[in-house]
Structures are given as C-alpha cells and as structure tokens.
Structure 1
Amino acid sequence: MSFEKATAVDSRQHPYTAEIAEGWDIVGNANGGYLLAIGARAMAKAAARPYPISVTAHYLAPGRPGPVTIDPQIIKAGKRLTTVRATLQSPDKPLIELLGSFADLASFTGPARVDANPPDLPPPDQCVRSVPNPELGFPPAMMGRVDLRLHPDDANFLKGKPSGDPLIRGWLRLPDNEPIDPFGLLLATDCFPPTIFNANLPVAWTPTVELTAHIRAVPEPGWLRCRFSTRFISGGMMEEDGEVWDSSGRLVAQSRQLALTPQA
C-alpha cells in the first residue's frame, strides 16, 4: 500500500474518517509522523488549502491499526493562511491533538538567506539501509514502508557501538518511486532512529510528547537528505531538531520534537 493510500482521509461526512494501516508501526504503535500526516490531510481538506505550513501535534496515546476519526475545526480563515484545530481519535480514546496552518506553498515568495547546507552524505548505496527485524522488533516494521539509508558514521549503534554524538543523518525516499509531497515530509520528520541511540546513555525508547513540523517547499523528486541532532538531554526529556533537504539542495522541512527519556 502506498503512503498516499495509507494516509487517505474520507471527508464526506463530519467527523472525517481514516484507517491506521498495518506496518507503519514501531513495536505495534503507529509512527508519530505517520499519524501526523493523517491528521494533516484531514485538516487540509477542511481548510480547502492544499498543504500544511506548520503543524504541531501533542501525543496523548499510542495508535494501533484500525479506524480513526478526525474532527477538524476552522479557527481562522485568512487571505493566505487557514488555521485549523483537530483531534485524531480511535473508537475509544483521543490519540493526538493538532493545531496547524495551511496554505498554497506556491504563494509564498520573498528574500532568501539560508545559513546552513544539506548534510554531507555518502551516496545512498554506500550508506546503511535500515530494514525491519521482526524477531527483535528493531529496526521497526515501518522500515519496510520506506527506503531509509543511514550515514555509516551514525549507524554503528545498530552493532551496539554508539558514536557518542546524538546525531543521525541519512537518505530517505518512498518505495516504488512514489513522490514525497508535503504530507510525506511530515513523515520524514519522525521516521529516523532517535538521536539518543548515539548518545551512549541508558535509554532504550523515547516516546514523543510534542512534535512541530514546518514545511518550507514542495520537494523536487528524488532522495531527501535528512539531519537530526540533539543538544539537551536533561530532566527526563530531550529535544530533537530536524532538517530535511530535497534533491535540488533546498531546505523543504524543519522539525522540533520533545520526547521523554525513561531509563532502559
């Protein structure tokens, strides 16, 4: 099943309906970026604007495969941006609470200054492909839904040898040449391994509390270059800052995630 179909939303009645598809999970729980994409598609339909510009999600409970509802509510419809609030809910509980702004990305033009460059990566075929391991549960099942290649310097945690630097870089694309649209960029901000896996700390999982994604442009076809880094791990929490660059070398998305760091 394509990513587009796996995040499809039926907006013929309110609340809208969708289905959490099999295989987009981490040890049984649906990936946060995947859930964010479902919610954002519903919000874009309600806004009658094609793409997310900024979306924030607060994660309330794990999502499992099955039906969900989304109830987008227009907060303000402006000339260029429409702001929408929504709850993505399973039959028995809310899963994420969302607030976002939606617009036509093509309508945003202006002066440019970018004080950063795409991450320096070896070619994809010289990077480490992350494939699911059903017996161990890691890498998780969703790695079978994307083509993700890690920088060799950042992949040694897979062998029990973390780099010591909370940094993860790599390439990302969807299988079968499926193009990545701005909703796919929401997935990209949350489908790489947590940076803390390279921090050499006694932490085995990092449940997301909040994730904000900024979409800067519709990506050109081809591989995405991604970089995720962390500077502060303290008080039982960590932040993770993400950059996503398209095949033309243009910054197309940014993200910041707050996650818990319970001890292993």
Structure 2
Amino acid sequence: MSVRRVLFVPAALALGAALSLTACQSGGGSGGAQQSAKPTQAAPAGSAPTAGTVAAPLAGTSAAPVSGASATPAANGAPGRAESPAAPAAPGGGGGDSYAYSHPCESKKLSVRVTSRAGAPSQRVIEVRNQGTTACGLGYYPLLSLGDSHSADRGKDVRPLVPSGLGGAPAYPVAPGRTAYAVLDLNPGGAGSGTVSGVDEVNVLADGDHMPVAETLNFPLGQGAKVLRPKLGLYRDSVADAAASAATADRQS
C-alpha cells in the first residue's frame, strides 16, 4: 500500500463522522428536533398586568374593609339599639352616634309625618326620618304646639307636658334611613268635658334646639279631636316606647 492510500482512509473516516454529527443537531431527524431553552424576558415597564397578577388600587380608593352593623347605646340612657350599616359618608362625615352628637339634623334632610295611632284615638305619632347619608342628632323631643289654624294669634297655643329629669347626651342620634318616633297624647286623662276649644292643628319643629321657628310644619288633628293637658314623650326607636315615654311627661315644655 502506498503512502497516499494510507492517508486517504483516515481522512475519509473523519469526514463521515463530521457529517453524522451535523445530522444529529439539525431539525431533519425522524424523532423531531429538541427546542433549546431561552431566557425569560421581563415585561417592559408600564405594560398591563397579566393574568395572575394583582393591580394596585385606583387612586382615591381605600383598601380598608367596611365594618358591619354594631350595637351602640342610645341617648338618654335607653337600651342599646342595632344600627344598620351607614351609607357612604360625605368627605369628612361619619355615620355613628358620636358623629351625630356634634352634627344636628338639617330640616332639608328630614321627612316629618304625623299620623293617628291605631287603637289610641287621642294619640298622634310624629315620625322623623333621616333621609341624608350621614347620622345626625335631634333634640330630646320635637318642639310642639297646638292651636287654631284660622287664628293669627299664636299666644293662645297649647304646649304639651314633657318628661323631666333629662340628662346624658345632648342629642338623639338618628342613623341614615332610620326613623325617630315621638308620641303626643292630646287627652291622656280621657275627660269628656273641659277640653280646649278651637284647637285643630299641631305645629311641629323636629328640633327646637337647632332649627329656626320658620321651619315649623303644620298638621291637621282631624275632626273631633279633643285637647286637654296634652303630653309629649321623648324620641324613641318604636311607637310603643315613645308612647310609654309620653305617659311619664310631667313638666311644661
């Protein structure tokens, strides 16, 4: 064998091995090519969050949980009452009793009704509902007078007796959407004679301590109403409790 033939055989073997290695690394194999791992790229700054991420709260919103209803003591030493969750308060506002004590109710945010009490012909129910979005405070009782709707002289109006010995918080708190009740008994003694003549209406000011007299509302008493030493109770959460309070009235309002 010549020297040229000896050199040719190893060269041929080396070329074949190189071709075989190239075929294994290419995508043309029967088993399919393996994909190479690529480094994960971070999302560009300012891009929208993808699924599974938590976006930050919008500006101006609060992440604090909303508290539920809670029982708080009522004014005048009455038993505690459950308050409904307050509606969203205006900036700087609040919804609890402590807020109401320092924020008197505004007449424009109240609705006032006077109705007869079923089963008690001499009694009238004064309903004062808070239609605002925050709690507010009323006085202990509404300011009432009874008179003649056809007379310009209010000097003869009759003022009801009210409970004495009042103390405690200087306001009756009313939560948003809640109603305060007061009961007026026109003739608690049930006397058939000696009643005041010419009285046919009741004048109601929801809060005589903080509202001007010009905001007084007038309601007819209805035909046949008899008035003699009328009594007015304190604001309460129910008509029954308000009527019980009226029975204790013993001093001039």
- Same fold per TM (> 0.5)? no
Larger Cα-atom Rg: 2
More strand by share: 1
